[in-house]
């Protein structure tokens, strides 16, 4: 777990300057540690993921930005039913993601057909 870097109070021009510098560093640390998910929408559950980008939830202010390329993402969100035909394609996309990588399957099950 990374610690939040805080500046020393020496060399600052006062309490207000110290507080502003500290808040900037905390905000930059939060942006650096935020997740960049890649969506893998397979069915109607993918529409539910789109709601995260709307102003009601506003995921961008938290630093969560959807990426279209697996090489730029940290986590893969699989929304929908995963079938036997789609499993190799999902694995290929997952293998293209850089380490460390995670996956989350939401509102879905593996369909045995």
Average pLDDT over residues 59-67: 78
Average pLDDT over residues 28-37: 74
Average pLDDT over residues 51-78: 80
Give the strand order in the sheet containing 75-79. 37-41, 75-79, 102-106
Give percent of the chain with pLDDT exceeding 70.
73
The verdict on 79 and 96 lying in the same domain is yes
Neighbours of 79 (CB within 10 A): 21
The verdict on 55 and 75 lying in the same domain is yes
pTM comes to 0.61
Q: 5 phi and psi, to 5 degrees?
A: -75, 130
Tokens of 71: 């090489």
93 belongs to a structural domain = yes
Residue range(s) defining the domain that contains residue 74: 35-106
pLDDT digits (tens, 9 = 90+) for 79-97: 878 888 888 998 999 999 8
**Helices H / strands E in the chain, number of each:** 3, 3
Q: What is d(CA 89, CA 112) in angstroms, rounded to the nearest whole number?
A: 16
């Amino acid at each position: 777990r990374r610690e939040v870097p805080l500046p020393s109070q020496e060399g600052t021009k006062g309490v207000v300057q110290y507080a502003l510098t500290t808040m900037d560093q905390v905000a930059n640390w939060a942006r650096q540690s935020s997740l960049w998910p890649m969506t893998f929408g397979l069915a109607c559950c993918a529409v539910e993921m789109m709601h995260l980008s709307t102003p009601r939830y506003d995921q961008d202010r938290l630093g969560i930005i959807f990426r279209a390329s697996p090489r730029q993402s940290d986590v893969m969100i699989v929304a929908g039913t995963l079938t036997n035909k789609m499993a190799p394609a999902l694995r290929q996309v997952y293998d293209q993601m850089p380490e460390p990588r995670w996956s989350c399957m939401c509102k879905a099950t593996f369909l045995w057909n």
